[in-house]
Structure 1
Amino acid sequence: MSDIQVQRRSRGAMAAMVARDIPDGSFINLGIGMPVLVLDHLGLDRKVMVHSENGVLGMRPLGQDEPVDPEMTNAAKLPVGIRPGASFFHHADSFAMMRGGHLDYAVLGAYQVSATGDLANWSLGEPGVATAVGGAMDLAVGAKQVFVMMEHQTREGTPRLLERCTLPLTGLGAVRRVYTDLATLDVTPQGFLVRDMAEGLTPEALQSCTGAPLRFA
């Protein structure tokens, strides 16, 4: 697909869209990689409690010129601030929260998502390449809703949204919504439903770079 007339969404723009769709009163986890950018769009005016699997509940973005505390980080080892009322706890307790259905949303990165919501985000299936699933499987099955942030295609132009995933799976039927640089899509019983598209993109062009049939809202 030619990018000449299509304004692909930046990662920051995608993160802002995710933050907008998280309702106040939610408890959420932001996965390592692209999803950590969502924290920058959840200011103190938002009543959202952000969980990190390394044992924090109540993270916030650092303020401008706020000093960095090297012991205050998220699971990606990036510095964060702490909201009033935040708490710290053992790693085992953190995973009990994740597995026990106490998180309203998990925002994860992905290599592939299938039309039935299957998630592949921990291994490219390449021999000799080190992989680590971390807490992704726990979040995929434990969170009430899973949102995914990802590029719509690989660097080679291969679709990441497919009828069936070809990479090792993290979870079956886990994903509810996908945010890409080209579109926002819901996973429904009838497959992918496009909610919105990047500026300048046509339905035909989006379909041409997607590996599964699309329906349009």
Structure 2
Amino acid sequence: MGLSKEQIAQRIAKEVKDGYYVNLGIGIPTLVANYVRDDISVEFQSENGVLGMGPFPFEGEEDADIINAGKQTITTLPGASFFDSALSFGMIRGQHVDLTILGAMEVAQNGDIANWKIPGKMVKGMGGAMDLVSSAENIIVAMMHTNRAGESKLLRECSLPLTGVGCVKKIVTNLAVLEVTREGFLLLERAPGVSVDDIKAVTEGNLLVSDEVPEMQV
């Protein structure tokens, strides 16, 4: 029900402004580069040492040596540069990235995010996530509204180990666009064909709803 992963990325692409430097996390966020408007200039940064990423390559045009942090093959735009991790994380920690787009397993109503570990399951590690959430001024989360069991991923408190505290500003799911406020999740938009009651039913955290909630344009 609701948006596909591609449509989530398409909606988030509307949050990207001209002149932005943007870091894309693993998963749905990597798709955002495919949907940014052609009439604006945006620099996508990847913590493995790339500035100037373009959209994904067409089949047969991949270069196995040019990858993002999720080890996916990417394209680069004219003027792109490659560098070591020390310089890459210097950009992130120095707050030179305007927007960070991340995936998440859980987000709490105060903006806490858990996106790196499920206890008891093998993980490769946190990667650059902790640096990104501690340094970024503007974090948007792209994720499905519920997990595979149909349980809400928008919670009063995260149950999984945290990546960052009180850092998420906005969330785009397959059902809705929400802003994190002091009182909870403010419902800004609903996906086409999705009602406010549908969203309420799968949001565990405090959901704030105005009289009129517009349908998302994707």
Matched, 1:186 2:186: no
Give 2:128's match in structure 1, choosing from 115, 132, 135. 135
Q: Of the candidates 111, 114, 131, which is equivalent to residue 105 of structure 2? A: 111
With structure 2 as the length reference, what TM-score do the two structures score?
0.91
| Helix, strand or coil at the partner of 1:58 | strand
CA contact (8 A) 2:109 2:205 kept: yes
Match of 1:91 in 2: 85
Instruction: Please state whether the residue corresponding to 1:192 is helix, strand or coil.
Output: strand
Where structure 1 has 5 or more consecutive residues not aligned to the other structure, the ranges are 1-6
Give 1:46 deviation, angstroms.
Answer: 2.8
Is the CA contact 1:57–1:88 (under 8 Å) kept in the aligned structure 2?
Answer: yes
Whether contact under 8 Å (1:43, 1:61) holds in the other structure is no
- Please say if residues 16 and 36 of structure 2, whose CA atoms lie closer than 8 Å, have aligned partners that are also in contact: no
Q: Is the 8 A contact 1:177 1:186 kept in 2?
A: yes
TM-score (norm 1): 0.91
Q: Which moved more, 1:68-77 or 1:7-16?
A: 68-77
- Contact 1:123 1:131 (8 Å CA) reproduced: no
Deviating more after overlay: 181-190 vs 197-206: 197-206
In the alignment, what sits opposite 1:197?
A: 190
| Number of residues of Structure 1 aligned to a counterpart in Structure 2 | 210
Aligned-CA RMSD value: 1.6
Distance 1:23 1:62 in 2: 20
Which residue in 2 is equivalent to 1:165? Answer: 158
Note closer, same or farther for the CA distance 1:73–1:128 as it changes in structure 2 (3 Å cut): closer
CA distance in 2, matches of 1:192, 1:100: 29
Match of 2:19 in 1: 25
Q: Distance in 1 between matches of 2:37 and 2:197?
A: 37
The DSSP-based 3-state class of the residue aligned with 1:50 is strand
Query: Matches of 1:65 and 1:163 in 2, distance apart?
Result: 42
Equivalent residue number for residue 170 of structure 2:
177
Secondary structure of 1:201's counterpart equals: coil
- Contact 1:53 1:95 (C-alpha < 8 Å) held by counterparts: yes
Task: Give the share of equivalent positions with the same residue, in percent.
Answer: 41
Cα distance change, pair 82–130 in 1 and its aligned pair in 2 (3 A): closer
- Distance in 1 (CA, whole Å) between partners of 2:67 and 2:154 is 32
CA drift of 1:128 comes to 4.9
What secondary structure is seen at the aligned counterpart in 2 of 1:106? Answer: strand
Unaligned runs of 5+ in 2: 211-218
Find the residue that maps to 2:133 and give its secondary structure: helix
Q: 1:194 to 1:131 in 2, by over 3 A?
A: same
Are 1:44 and 1:60, in contact at CA under 8 Å, matched by a contact in 2?
no
Does the 8 Å contact 1:114/1:161 carry over to 2? yes
Segments of 4+ moved more than 4 angstroms: 62-66
